[in-house]
Amino acid sequence: NAGVMQNPRHLVRRRGQEARLRCSPMKGHSHVYWYRQLPEEGLKFMVYLQKENIIDESGMPKERFSAEFPKEGPSILRIQQVVRGDSAAYFCASSTRTAQRDTEAFFGQGTRLTVV
Amino acid sequence: GDSVTQMEGPVTLSEEAFLTINCTYTATGYPSLFWYVQYPGEGLQLLLKATKADDKGSNKGFEATYRKETTSFHLEKGSVQVSDSAVYFCALKVGNEKLTFGTGTRLTIIP
C-alpha cells in the first residue's frame, strides 16, 4: 500500500508563472489536507478537502491560491502568478475519517517550490 | 484560537544524553496531542500521540504525557542516538482534524 504521493518533489517557477502541485492520497483515504512550511517554520494549515468538496479553506490566501480534489485523480493545489514569497515546502496529508480523536494523518514527502 | 508553543532550537546533545523538548498548548476545545518527526528532505511521520488527559504516548523510546492541568505535552527520551537527529513538531487537533503545529525543534545528536 503506497503512502501519500506528491509530485513533483521539486518545482522551480519564475515570478508570474503558475505552479500546480499534485497529491495522491493513500488508498482508501478520502480526506486530504494541504499544509505549507516556510523556511525554518512549522507547518501552517491551508485547506481541507473531501472528494469534490472543500471542507475548510480558512488557511488559504484569498487570492491566487486554489485547491481541488476531483472524484477521479489526485488533489491539486494551484498557485497562480507566483511570487518569491510563495517559495516553501507544500505538504499533503490524507486520512480515512473525520472528527475522530485518534485518527492519524499520513504525510507525503512534500513539494519544494522555488520561485526565481 | 488554537496554538502550540514549543522549545526553540536548535538543540545539540551527545549520544546517550537525556532529551526533553517542551511543548505547551492553548485550545478552544479538548484537543488530541501529537509529536511528529521530520528527517532531512522527508515529510512528517507520526512519532506518538495522546487523546485524553493523563494518557502517555510512547514509541521508539520516546514518551510524552498529556498534562491538562499544565496544558503541556513534553517529549522525553532517556538515551538519544545519532539516528534521532531530526526536526520534532508538537501538534494538536480539535474536532475536524486540522492539525495546528508548533514551529519545530531541530535536534542534533553528536557521537
Condensed to tens digits (0 to 9), the pLDDT of residues A29-49 reads: 889 999 999 887 789 999 999
Separation of alpha carbons A75 and A92, rounded Å? 9
Confidence band, pLDDT 50/70/90 cuts, at residue A64: very high
A105 has pLDDT over 70: yes
Residues in chain B with CB shorter than 8 Å from the CB of A26 are none
Rounded to whole angstroms, what are the CA distances from B75 to A22, A24, A45, A102, B23?
33, 31, 23, 18, 8
CB contact (8 A) between residue B49 and residue A99? no
A89 has pLDDT over 70: yes
Cα nearest neighbour of A110 on chain B: B43
Q: Average of pLDDT values for A49-58?
A: 92
Q: Encode chain B (111 residues) as per-residue pLDDT tens digits.
A: 899 999 888 999 999 999 999 999 999 889 999 999 999 888 899 999 999 999 999 999 999 999 999 999 999 999 999 999 999 999 999 876 689 999 999 999 999
Query: Counting Cβ atoms within 10 Å, is residue A29 exposed (0-12), middle (13-18) or buried (19+)?
Result: middle
- What pLDDT is stored for residue B4 in this prediction? 95
Separation of alpha carbons B38 and A53, rounded Å? 29
61-90 in chain A: CB under 8 A from chain B: none
Residue A18 distance to chain B (closest CA, Å): 24
Q: Average of pLDDT values for A50-74?
A: 94
Q: Average of pLDDT values for A56-76?
A: 95
Instruction: Choose the closest CB to A42 out of B52, B98, B104.
Output: B104
